[in-house]
Every structure is written in structure tokens, then in C-alpha cells.
Chain A
Amino acid sequence: MSGDVTFWGLAASLVLVGVAIALSAWRRLGLERDLVLASARAMAQLLVVGLALAFVLDEDTPLALSWLWVVGMTVFAADVARRRAREVPRFMVIALAAFLATSAVTLAVVFGLGIFPLESRTLVPIAGLVIGNSMNATVLSARRGVEELRDKRLEVEARLALGQPSWAAALPYLRSAARTALVPQIETTKAVGIVFLPGAMTGLILAGVDPLDAVLVQVVVMYLVLASAATTTTVVSMGLVRRLFTPDHRLRPLARPADG
């Protein structure tokens, strides 16, 4: 097939890494070691994942294994989110809830309405896409939410002091955090095709799929990403209210993050 990359092709592409390393050395960026490590790590990780996927996606492998793969991905993603948003106490649970909710919504639509057939070949990549793409929105909305509530603490407490329940007192600030997380996604969706060709479509075209078919898949993917980002930010907002306020509607002390 026209899209096949041979091992010779893979080796040749290392020239590109060489270019990056050479540039780093020439401009004294000190990133040569990082570039080597990152490139090697990416290749190793993807090769391992590729082998595992080849097994999971095999037609003879039961679908249950694909679901297990999705669960593993979700837990791993929640752990990454937790490490990226350390200022949110026990964020792992919120992130898990967000990824589960977004998976439930998007997979139900995609498979329930028959957009794609439910098989290993579609389940694993779509779940991965949804979770991977909602990661940024999850972390960004959580970090911004905590930041807003911490910086506007006096305003939040003034609302509480007027007798507003914690969710209402937090709403204007969490709304602004959710917008911050969603707006880039919406802007990207608007610019797609004009400014850049997105990854899924580029990959399909490189692999020899008809461009119009690739476009249709890409449109579905973009809608999936929008829905998943909106779902995760909503779940994160609700989770933050539970986590950052006491049951008797007091705002807990919020620490500043140790590092940016």
C-alpha cells in the first residue's frame, strides 16, 4: 500500500531527529540529550503499543479485551491528569469521573447511532482519541478553576456570606475556567482545513485512503473531541465544587502550586 513505511523509511526519518539535534547543538539550546531520549522513547513506546494493539485488534481476540484496554487507558490518563494538576486535592477521582463520563457519552453516540460499527478496530482508537483529547481540557479547567477560586476568594466568600450555596458562589469563576479550556478547542475546530490539516485526516491520506473519506472521518473526530472536552469540563466543574468546598458551604484553604 502507498502508506506503508518500511524499516528503511523509519531509519531514514531519523535524519529529521539528527537535524533537530544539530540545530540544538548549533544554537546551544542544550536539548540534544532530551531530543535523543524523547525520540527513542516515543519509538519504543509506540512499537510496544503497536504490537499490543495488533494483538488486541485481531479479529479472533474477544472484544472484552478491547474494553479492558479502554479501562487501562482511562486509569493511566487519570493518573497523568492528577500529576499535572497537583494543586487540586485528590484530583485522580475527579479525572476518572470526567473520563468515564466523556467515554460513556461519546461511545454511546458513536456506536449507539451506528456512526461506526462496534468492534475492536473502532473501539480502542476512538476511546483513545476521546480520552487523549479531553486530557488537556480536564487539566486546564481544573487548574484554572482552582486558580480563579483562590484569586477571587474574597468575592466567593462574599457570595457565600449572602447565603448562596457553594455551587452558585463558585459558578461565575468555574464558568470562566471552563471557557478558558474550551475556547482553544472551538477555535481549532473553526480553523481546521484552512489553517492546518488535522492528524487523523493526514494519517488516513498518507495511508492511502480517499481524501473525501478521510475528511468524513475527520469531521466525526472533531465533533467527538468537542463533545468530550465539553463533557469533561462540566464534570471537572462539578467535582471541584465538591472537592474545594466543605459540605456546609465554606471554601477550603487553597494552596498555591509548588511549581508552575
Chain B
Amino acid sequence: MAAALFAFEGVTVEGGSGRTILSEVTASVPDGGITVIVGPSGAGKSTLLRLCNRLEVPSAGRVLLRGEDLAGLDPLALRRRVGMVFQRPTPFGGTVADNLRVAVPEIAEDAMAAALERTGLAGGFLSRAAADLSVGEAQRMCVARTLVTEPEVLLMDEPTSALDRDHRLELERLARRLTREGVPILWVTHDGEQVGRLADWVLALREGRLERSGPPDAPPTGAPAVAETGGRDVG
């Protein structure tokens, strides 16, 4: 295997009131394709993801990005290398263009339109008020907003949990396209079927411990499949 994109070495994260969220996790993420972090709710999936852009820091152990210890990197520079999309869309005030300018203040109009088109939104969206977008559109705008910083890696924290089935599949296709363009993705989900559709590599967590790491052939145990109701399955 090539050098790991992320390597977790004995990572422990203590939450408030002494609760252990992650316990001595040692795993690596391959540098390419989609790595899916899967497990039941409360397993520590989001925390593992947030360690990768230092929205969380380990209480013990260390996290490496292509061999560099994250603790030694400037967090602001790191976060522009490692983009993140959250569970629910997070539109800021103002128009879609204003939102993209939060990421890159001096961005040109055509670069903004190109970023939107990359996520399947027409350039005409730029002048729309971000608050008026549908959930699916807002989530794609958030992906575009992250992409304009030209990240090396994309972290996606259950990004489809607030979306209906069509938008969910659309975002999955977008993720696949991005990996083909050379942006590896870490994708958190508790949806077993999504693992089957997306994963090139799987990290399965349970109760803060690494349960399994490897290719997706053998479905990870303990990952409950979520019924495809087309509705919301916010975890």
C-alpha cells in the first residue's frame, strides 16, 4: 500500500466528565478513493473524522497526514488542506456568492461559477440567498464552498443524512467524481447500504474502538443497515 493519507497511532479522545470517546485507535487511511468510517451512533465516527482537521485533538496518541504529525502543523493552514462538509448544511448569511467568499475572499466570479457547476449547481445560483436554498442545494453549495479552497482531502460527516434518496445518490456520485479528480474522501455513515455503494476502504468503529479496517468485501459487523425510506435518517 502507498503511504497512508491519514495514520492514527494509539489515538484516545477523552470527552467531558471523563468519558472515553475513542480508545487507542490505530488505523490508516489509504491515499485515494473513498474511505468510509462506519459504526452505530456513539461509536466515535465523527470524532475520528474531526481529528483529521483538528476540530478535535487526541488526549493521547497522534494523527499523521501523509507522514506529518498534525500537532506540529498550523491548524488554519491544515484546515485549508483538509476540507470538511458537515452532517447538516451550514449556509452562512447572504448570497451563495457571499458564502463562497467566506472561504476565498478574493475569488473571481467565473471560479465561483465553476465550483458550483462542479457540484451540479448552475452558475445562476450565485446571486440566490443561501437561506432560500433547498436542503439538497444548500449541501451542494457547502461542498462547493469547501472545494474553492482546493483541499487535498475532503472529510464528509454523514453529509447525506438530511437528504432524500435522490439527493443522497447525487451527492454520492459527486463524491465518486471528486475522487477520480484526485481528491480522496473520508466519509462517515451509519448506513450499511451506503457503505456498499461507496467504500473503497472501511474503518468500522464500535464503542470507541476500531473493530475492523480493510477493503469492503466482508461487510463490517454491527453496522446497522438503514431502511431506504427516502426520508430522513438523521443519526
Contact = CB atoms under 8 A, between A and B. Distances in A.
Interface string A130-168: 000000000000000000000000110111111111000
Contacts of A30: none
A162 B86 contact: no
Contacts of B55: 157, 160-161, 250
Interface in B12-71: 16, 53-57
Interface residues of B, number: 25
Given A163-B149, A164-B102, A248-B54, A158 B75 contact: no
B102 A162 contact: yes
Contacts of B195: none
A249 interface: yes
Contacts of B84: 158, 161
B90 A158 contact: yes
B218 interface: no
B69 to A, nearest CB: 14
Contacts of B77: 163
Interface in B144-171: 145-146, 149
Q: Among the interface residues A158, A159, A249, which one has the most CB atoms of the partner chain B within 10 A?
A: A158
Interface residues of A, number: 16
B124 interface: no
A248 B75 contact: yes
Nearest to A169: B102
Contacts of A249: 75-76
B80 A162 contact: yes
A120 B56 CA distance: 53
A155 B92 contact: yes
Given A250-B54, A250-B57, A253-B16, A158 B79 contact: no
Interface in B85-138: 86-88, 90, 92-93, 102-103
Interface of B: 16, 53-57, 75-77, 79-80, 83-84, 86-88, 90, 92-93, 102-103, 142, 145-146, 149
Interface of A: 154-155, 157-165, 172, 248-250, 253
